[in-house]
Amino acid sequence: GQQLNQSPQSMFIQEGEDVSMNCTSSSIFNTWLWYKQDPGEGPVLLIALYKAGELTSNGRLTAQFGITRKDSFLNISASIPSDVGIYFCAGTQGAQKLVFGQGTRLTINP
């Protein structure tokens, strides 16, 4: 099945650094969502984007729905230890079913 191209696959950063990750597709998506998965838990929705060009923030997190509707990015500012986990992008093309990226594993050195 189709998957979104998410990069980077992993990141190793120092506490306090900013983080940026993105998701791209060869086809148009109507909705973009970003999830975070803590170790040993299921993914939890962080941000949902519904319009091309939309920029949405949730605390230190900022995400954007690309103008072409084929990409999205997620930024985390001033990272802290609890930001550790796997971040997934996901999108829909009109149907109920989400298509997921392969995830970005974030590791933070204190």
Partner 1 sequence: DVKVTQSSRYLVKRTGEKVFLECVQDMDHENMFWYRQDPGLGLRLIYFSYDVKMKEKGDIPEGYSVSREKKERFSLILESASTNQTSMYLCASSPTGPGRGYTFGSGTRLTVV
Per-residue binding letters, 60-99, with partner 1 (x by CB under 8 A): ----------------------------x-x-x-xxxxx-
103 lies in the site for partner 1, by CB under 8 A: yes
Nearer to partner 1, 44 or 80 (CB): 44
Closest approach, Cβ 68 to partner 1, in A, equals 17
In degrees, to the nearest 5, what angle opens at C-alpha 53 toward C-alphas 50 and 55? Answer: 75
Two tokens, residue 49: 């984007």
- For residue 77, the number of C-alpha atoms closer than 13 Å in the C-beta half-sphere is 7
Q: What is the spatial distance between Cα 100 and Cα 102, in angstroms, rounded to a whole number?
A: 6
Closest approach, Cβ 55 to partner 1, in A, equals 17
Rule CB under 8 A: choose which of 8, 28, 44, 80 binds partner 1.
Answer: 44
Locate the DSSP E strands across the chain.
5-7, 10-14, 19-24, 31-37, 44-49, 55-58, 61-65, 71-76, 85-92, 99-100, 104-109
100 lies in the site for partner 1, by CB under 8 A: yes
Subset of 17-36 contacting partner 1 (CB under 8 A): 30-31, 33, 35
Rule CB under 8 A: choose which of 12, 17, 50, 53 binds partner 1.
Answer: 50
